[in-house]
Amino acid sequence: MAANRLAGSNHDLRVSVINPATDFVERIRLHEVAAGSRATAAVPMGSVLAGHVDFIEDSASRIDPDNRRVHFSSGRAPIGYDALLYAVGSGQASSGVPEGVYGFGDAESAARLRTGLTRLDHGATVSIVGAGLTGVELAAEVAQQYPQLRVRLISRGLIAGGLSDSGSQAVRTRLAALGVDMVENADVQRSGGSTLISSGGLTMPSDCTVWAAGFRVPRLARDSGLPTDAEDRLIVDESLSCPGYPDIFGAGDAVRVPDSVGRHLRMSCASALPLGAHAADSIIARLENRPLAPLSAGYLIQCISLGRRSGLIQTVTPGDRPRRFVVRGSLAGLAKEQICRMTLSWLRGELRRSGSFKWPKGPLPVDASLPVEAR
């Protein structure tokens, strides 16, 4: 999104994109890949990236902000930059995942899980730890594709507890219809052989365990000496510029946006696209010596797939709080599929006309000087 917006701007910019793989990965479809309902989530990079952008197939190993250079894992010669956008995203949680457990969140872990599922015996139990939207989508997809397996979804709190009452009820009804065993208020602490043990002492047999309890971001910013939060996310200001490093900007899952404009933002494609576009706008404003505008990005809906041909559309406030209205069943499944397709259309739209992507505004900025309860 950012590269296309910059490349198509009125400025004569040379834009380079660094990425370790030649394909763009639609991460929002990785549960489909893992469950075997879709062959791949890879899309040729050339179909979503402007033709005159330099594509560098490599991994950045270090950013040298003093000399404005990016170093590479392959050992190729470093490249210089005038402005750098940090958008390294997130992936499977690597720390805290017990041994013998499948991580989940990136293309490699989805491929491993896909193979692992095909090797399970009839009647084997698959446990998915973490019932956020990703865990729910994965549980439903696996249960539908593998009716001969027992699928268990384990949640620290209530499953789909962040949705409205009707939304959460619809998710639970669908999961139950797919035969998913829902275990709530269980904090999985350990995995011993083929057994999971929760903090409350609950012991659950498991032939295949998947950790879907949150994403981790790469350590690149921290290892490069850039300001990061405790979760290794690059700290940016309201304009998505990195404080103290005016030529470094950030977008997507790997950045920490200040609470004043980003308290409500969650790691999602729904946030990454507006952040990418806004970061590009900030870079252009800097080039034109204009003041940088604060980010304003909010939500309209949360879309959850519940196996093929079913889903839930939960309407939300700009600040991501659930509203009462939901759409469920096959209509929601159809809508979710259309929205997945639209993410690629938005990238391609920006490729054709820079500045074409628009997004919902965020909640009103928070006045940080007010006490929390008054905000």
Ligand X SMILES: Cc1cc2nc3c(=O)[nH]c(=O)nc-3n(C[C@H](O)[C@H](O)[C@H](O)COP(=O)(O)OP(=O)(O)OC[C@H]3O[C@@H](n4cnc5c(N)ncnc54)[C@H](O)[C@@H]3O)c2cc1C
How many angstroms separate the CA atoms of 252 and 268, rounded?
8
| Residue 372 beta carbon to ligand X: minimum distance, rounded to whole angstroms | 27
Alpha-helical (H) ranges within 264-370 are 269-287, 329-352
Size of the site for ligand X (CB under 6 A): 28
| Residue 24 beta carbon to ligand X: minimum distance, rounded to whole angstroms | 7
Q: Which of 42, 120, 158, 269 binds ligand X (CB under 6 A)?
A: 269
Q: Which is nearer to ligand X, 188 or 220 (CB)?
A: 220
Q: Which of 4, 9, 134, 239 binds ligand X (CB under 6 A)?
A: 134
Q: Which is nearer to ligand X, 134 or 198 (CB)?
A: 134
> From residue 88 to residue 117, what is the string marking binding to ligand X with x (rule CB under 6 A)?
xxx--------------x------------
Is 150 a binder of ligand X (CB under 6 A)?
no
Q: Which is nearer to ligand X, 146 or 198 (CB)?
A: 146
The torsion of the CA quartet 6, 8, 9, 10, rounded to 10 degrees, works out to 140
138-153: b or e for each residue (b if 16 or more CB lie within 10 Å)? bbbbbbbbbeebbbbb
| Residue 94 beta carbon to ligand X: minimum distance, rounded to whole angstroms | 13
* Both tokens assigned to 148: 């001969």
| Residue 138 beta carbon to ligand X: minimum distance, rounded to whole angstroms | 6
Q: Which of 2, 248, 303, 347 binds ligand X (CB under 6 A)?
A: 303
Nearest to 33 by CA among 138, 144, 147, 135: 138
Q: Which of 85, 151, 261, 270 binds ligand X (CB under 6 A)?
A: 270
Q: Which of 268, 296, 315, 356 binds ligand X (CB under 6 A)?
A: 268
> From residue 247 to residue 266, what is the string marking binding to ligand X with x (rule CB under 6 A)?
-----xxx------------
338-356: b or e for each residue (b if 16 or more CB lie within 10 Å)? ebbeebeebbeebbeebee
How many angstroms separate the CA atoms of 119 and 288, rounded?
57
Crossing angle (nearest 10°) for helices 133-145 and 165-177: 30
Is 272 a binder of ligand X (CB under 6 A)?
yes
| Residue 253 beta carbon to ligand X: minimum distance, rounded to whole angstroms | 4
How many angstroms separate the CA atoms of 347 and 280, rounded?
13
Q: Which of residues 208-237 bind ligand X (CB under 6 A)?
A: 218, 220
Three-class DSSP category at 166: helix
Q: Which is nearer to ligand X, 25 or 236 (CB)?
A: 25
How many angstroms separate the CA atoms of 117 and 122, rounded?
11
Q: Which is nearer to ligand X, 88 or 198 (CB)?
A: 88
Q: Which is nearer to ligand X, 20 or 244 (CB)?
A: 20
Rg (alpha carbons) of the chain, rounded to whole number: 21
| Residue 286 beta carbon to ligand X: minimum distance, rounded to whole angstroms | 21
How many angstroms separate the CA atoms of 302 and 332, rounded?
11
Q: Which of 35, 53, 83, 87 binds ligand X (CB under 6 A)?
A: 87
Tell me the helix, strand and coil percentages in the chain, rounded to 5.
30, 25, 45
> From residue 13 to residue 32, what is the string marking binding to ligand X with x (rule CB under 6 A)?
-----xxx----x-xx-xx-
Three-class DSSP category at 259: helix
Binding site for ligand X (CB under 6 A): 18-20, 25, 27-28, 30-31, 59-60, 87-90, 105, 134, 137, 218, 220, 252-254, 267-270, 272, 303
